[in-house]
């Protein structure tokens, strides 16, 4: 990495690299191939500037290494799927703001069951089916 400031989010300039988890890592550990990329990506998982790092790599078409938790192959595929994006920094910042502004998703409501007729009885459909005399004869 270099030490220049990188434009991010609506023309502001923030040198996010000072907060990167990889700032003290050996660069050789981040520019690897194959299975070693998994280890490099682990460094990114809890990084506070992961989004800024990814935006920098996408906006500058950086071809090598793991940036923002994505390999070069993953970034290439993303760039190919979204050739219309002019500024990844702006797009990712906008997505982050939208995610922070929206309320957390509600978990799916549990399926409703018909209540039992008498107190203390389990709800309908919660007991295993009973075998009938005919079932026993055919079970052999």
The answer to whether 22 is annotated as binding is yes
**67 contacts 57 by C-beta, under 8 angstroms:** yes
The answer to whether 44 is annotated as binding is yes
The answer to whether 19 is annotated as binding is no
The answer to whether 79 is annotated as binding is no
Distance CA 83, CA 80 (A): 6
DSSP string of 17-51?
GGG-GGGGS-HHHHS--TTHHHHHHHHHHT-TTHH
3 state DSSP class of 8: strand
- Residues placed in the known binding site for [4Fe-4S] cluster: 22, 44, 47, 53
Annotated binding site: 22, 44, 47, 53
């Amino acid at each position: 990495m270099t030490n220049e400031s990188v434009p991010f989010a609506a023309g502001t300039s923030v040198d996010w690299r000072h907060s990167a988890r990889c700032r003290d890592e050996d660069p050789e550990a981040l520019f690897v191939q194959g299975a070693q990329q998994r280890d490099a990506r682990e460094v990114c998982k809890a990084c506070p500037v992961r989004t800024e790092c990814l935006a920098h790599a996408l906006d500058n078409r950086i071809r090598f290494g793991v940036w923002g938790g994505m390999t070069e192959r993953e970034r290439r595929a993303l760039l190919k799927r979204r050739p219309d994006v002019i500024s990844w920094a702006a797009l990712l910042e906008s997505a982050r703001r939208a995610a922070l502004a929206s309320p957390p998703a509600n978990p799916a409501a549990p399926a409703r069951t018909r209540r039992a007729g008498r107190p203390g009885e389990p709800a309908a459909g919660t007991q295993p089916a009973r075998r009938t005399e005919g079932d026993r004869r055919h079970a052999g």
